[in-house]
Amino acid sequence: MCGIIGCVGRGDETLDTLVHGLSKLEYRGYDSAGVAMASGGVDLCKTAGKIEDLRDALSSVSLSGSVGIGHTRWSTHGPPTNANAHPHQDCTGDVAVVHNGIIENYQSLRDELVSAGHTFTSDTDTEVVPHLIEDELADGTAPEAAVRSAISRLEGSYAIAAVIAGTEAVFAARHDSPLVLGLTEGATFLASDVPAFRDFTDQVIYLDDGEFARLDADGWAVSTLDGSPVEKEVNVVEWDPEETGKSGYDHYMLKEIHEQPRALRQCLRGRVDEMAGTVDIEDLGDLSPTGVQFVACGTSYHAALYGAQLFREAGIPAQAFLASEYATAVPPIGDALVVGVTQSGETADTLSALREARKRGARTMAVTNVVGSTAARECDHAFYIRAGPEIGVAASKTFSTQLAALNLLMLGMTNEEGAREVIAALRELPGNVQRILDESNAEAVAETYRDADSYFFIGRGYQFPVALEGALKMKEITYKHAEGFASGELKHGPLALVTENTPVFAVVTGDGEQARKTVGNVKEVEARDAPVVAITDGQSDVGRYADHVLELPETHPRAAAVLANTHLQLLSYHTAALLGRNIDKPRNLAKSVTVE
């Protein structure tokens, strides 16, 4: 996810402070970076690539001033190029803006500004902001009021910082994207995350949604966007600068598990109309395939299994293939669409399967997290899950957002009956995931079974891929043996492995036929003395046969899959933590697997 830094009052050290802050935000993932400094005018330097590339670019230009903003960009609108890197400017060059988030109404604002004679130089949604500020300034509005007025026209999510020529201040506002102020004698900072300025201060103020901040060398002021002053509490950061990057969490994985509500909101934003019961994926063009084939690996394969089931339920033939096996599988049939599900967009097996599909004449699509990734560039279509960068090797928030995105894709391509219920459940998902994060007793369950020989996970229908994913997560970060099964398969062999030292985690939602059958399978393992942990919404009587229950709220079975998985993520995480494993970088594994 993008990173913002702003700074006022560090005199000649302002530029170095900005670049240092950006380097502290690198963990968020980014593909371009830039800075802008304001004095009588605004000087700017930005480039695609890493902070080192920015340092190189800065060595051949001269930027002056003691007021500045900087940005690391993780592409959403437009590829990672110099032109799309932030900061963005207006036509006069007197305004510079950095932004995190997605401005949903940018197209209509851009059309309006272009008709009024503004010239745009990037593909980004952000660029509308400096031009809106420019118009306000041209009308004689004072700088601060001009920024407020421009921001009040935005819909979507944003953390924004702006500087204006001749004004010794940084202006900032947030809605659904974090911003925090850092305070010292004589200098004030602003950033997406504390690590950016933690080397200078431990005094911070967290901005809330709808708030606007003005930073001057001698102080700061926070107000609502329409100008009412807001009293803010100054917090003291407890952790040392060395712990930067994890926002206070012990591991990136735990941080990313906790980021799921926000990631899911970001995934859904601007794509669903709850009132109309529709999903808008029009930017993908006209997609009405006769069949869908998914290709993917690992966690993404589990999402693909879930996706294939979604399409089959909507009446479109669909299958999920392990990408590494695809070449030997059936060729694309008729007008099938081949969909690569891949967080990174760089997984060699998945790229190879997509290339094979194209060779056989299929249309292809990447469902991915990374704009500008190879899969996104090579496929005919790209659909972004918008989870934000994931640093822990174990996929967590990207699995949840893959499931949400696949629902959107299916609903956008079909006229499935019951779309309204699914959309309502998707809208409730971020809040329900938050509830599980707040209330889950997975840590206590992890403690109980930390010495188990083996862990088994079972589920049916949408909960089958969740069982597979629960087992993958467990083996990946704890190094313990774990297997996921379709509930009905246990009795066809794996039941021989079941003992009193092999806990069975059963995902059971609803009270229909599938739930009743899985409860039957649970009784089979209980009769063989295996401890049972039920992950359930309590609609069936599985709790009667369970030693522990991880509770879910009642919801649509498709949404329940994401909720059940959240408990299982926490279970694996806490088991691995108790065992002292290297959770973010498990042995032998890489985040992006670029060999076949």
What positions carry a catalytic annotation?
2, 591
Q: Which is nearer to ligand M6R, 177 or 299 (CB)?
A: 299
Among 89, 100, 319, 344, binds ligand M6R (CB under 6 A): 344
102-110, 344-352, 486-494, 540-548 -> range binding ligand M6R (CB under 6 A): 344-352
User: Is residue 229 reached through a cis peptide bond, with omega within 30 degrees of 0 on the bond before it?
Assistant: no
Q: Of all residues in this chain, which one has the CB nearest to ligand M6R in the complex?
A: 298
Asked whether position 300 contacts ligand M6R by CB under 6 A, the answer is: yes
**Count of chain residues binding ligand M6R (CB under 6 A):** 15
Asked whether position 593 contacts ligand M6R by CB under 6 A, the answer is: yes
The span from the CA of 556 to the CA of 538, in Å, is 14
Asked whether position 350 contacts ligand M6R by CB under 6 A, the answer is: yes
Q: How far is CA 63 from CA 12, 14, 34, 108, 142, in A?
A: 10, 10, 12, 34, 25
The span from the CA of 355 to the CA of 347, in Å, is 12
Asked whether position 393 contacts ligand M6R by CB under 6 A, the answer is: yes
Asked whether position 592 contacts ligand M6R by CB under 6 A, the answer is: yes
The span from the CA of 524 to the CA of 540, in Å, is 16
Among 342, 364, 565, 575, binds ligand M6R (CB under 6 A): 342
Q: What does DSSP assign to residue 544?
A: G
How many CA within 13 A on the CB side of residue 87? 31
67-75, 226-234, 392-400, 575-583 -> range binding ligand M6R (CB under 6 A): 392-400
Binding residues among 473-502 for ligand M6R as defined by CB under 6 A: 476
Give the nearest distance from C-beta 393 to ligand M6R in angstroms. Answer: 6
Among 347, 374, 414, 575, binds ligand M6R (CB under 6 A): 347
Q: Which is nearer to ligand M6R, 235 or 594 (CB)?
A: 594
Among 137, 395, 446, 506, binds ligand M6R (CB under 6 A): 395
CB crowding 497-524: b at 16 or more within 10 Å, else e: ebeeebbbbbbbbbbeebbeebbebbeb
Q: Which amino acid is at 77?
A: H
Asked whether position 298 contacts ligand M6R by CB under 6 A, the answer is: yes
Question: Rg of the chain over CA atoms, in angstroms?
Answer: 25
Burial bucket for residue 273 (CB in 10 Å: 0-12, 13-18, 19+): exposed
Give the nearest distance from C-beta 260 to ligand M6R in angstroms. Answer: 14
Asked whether position 432 contacts ligand M6R by CB under 6 A, the answer is: no
The span from the CA of 520 to the CA of 541, in Å, is 10
CB 19 within 8 A of CB 35: yes
Q: Give one DSSP letter per residue of 562-578, joined into a string.
A: HHHHHHHHHHHHHHHHH
104-112, 307-315, 339-347, 353-361 -> range binding ligand M6R (CB under 6 A): 339-347
User: Which positions lie near ligand M6R, rule CB under 6 A?
Assistant: 297-300, 342-344, 347, 350, 393-395, 476, 592-593
